[in-house]
Structure 1
Amino acid sequence: MNALHELTNKERGQILIDLFPDELIPTLEGVEHFCNLILLNEQKIRSRWDNPLFTASSWFNLTAECLAVIKRLKSWKRLNARVFSEQLFYGYLSMVVIDCIIKFADSSEGRSKYKVAVDLLFKP
């Protein structure tokens, strides 16, 4: 295994679910929930947008793409950490997924070890 600072987002996503396999479905649902919130609050988010890396339109397009991937993944019978990470942690889509996973972990009660892992793997 590589050092933490050398891991790709895909590897980090797989490690998270490998460590917490029972959190795979809750994590997927949490990402879905926060993606839906982003799209529901589009006008409010656009009016406050200050991210120099992405335009607001790009962010909303990635969010919609993330929801489409999640919809597809939820129908798979053999969903696992590898498939989860390969489908959701590629390219710029991983930025939306990571943002939503952090929000999900921060909002989750009773998942202190999971939250610590998310903080370690994804927070700067």
Structure 2
Amino acid sequence: MQPLKLLTNVQKARLLHSLLSNEIPEFLGYLNELTETVLNDRERITAEWKDQLFGVDFWFELAENVQRVMAKYAKELYKSPNVFADQLFDGYTAIFTAHALVQYIALGKYADPKFKPAVELLFT
């Protein structure tokens, strides 16, 4: 295995899913809720969007992309570490999904106490 600092987001997500697959269904539920919230609250988010690294429209595009992936690969995301990682943590989509992971643990939505340190180790 490569050193942690050399792992890509896809490799990190695959590892997270493989180690703590029991947490993935709840996280995917949260991710779906987050995309719905972002896409249904565009006006408020646009008004509050200040000093970010990219424009608000890009954030909406990422949320839409995550929704498409979740609809297309619904069952596979739960079962397959490869599909989970390849579809949700590749390219720019990883920005939204990694943000969701960090929010998920910050809100304390996880059940397995090992999930928080794993996410912190891999994605923060």
TM over 0.5: yes
| Aligned positions of 1:1-124 closer than 5 A | 1-76=1-76, 79-107=79-107, 108=109, 110-123=111-124
**Secondary structure of 1:112's aligned partner:** coil
CA distance in 2, matches of 1:110, 1:22: 9
For these two proteins, the number of residue pairs brought into alignment is 123
Q: Give the partner amino acid of 2:71.
A: K
TM (normalized to structure 2)? Answer: 0.88
**Deviation (angstroms), 1:24:** 2.1
Residue 62 of structure 1: how far off its partner (Å): 1.1
Unaligned stretches of 5+ in structure 1? none
Please give the alpha-carbon distance, in whole angstroms, between the structure 1 residues aligned to 2:77 and 2:27: 16
Alpha-carbon distance between aligned partners in 1 of 2:93 and 2:2, rounded to the nearest angstrom: 23
| Unpaired segments ≥5 residues, structure 2 | none
Across the aligned residues of Structure 1 and Structure 2, the Cα RMSD in angstroms comes to: 1.9
Q: Which one is further off, 37-46 or 105-114?
A: 105-114
Q: Deviations over 1:1-46 (max 9, x none)?
A: 1111111110111111111011222222121111112222222221
- Residue type of the alignment partner of 1:26: E
- TM-score under structure 1 normalisation? 0.88
1:121 counterpart letter in structure 2? L
Other structure's SS at 2:53 match: coil
Checking the alignment, whether the CA contact within 8 Å between 1:38 and 1:63 is kept in structure 2 is: yes
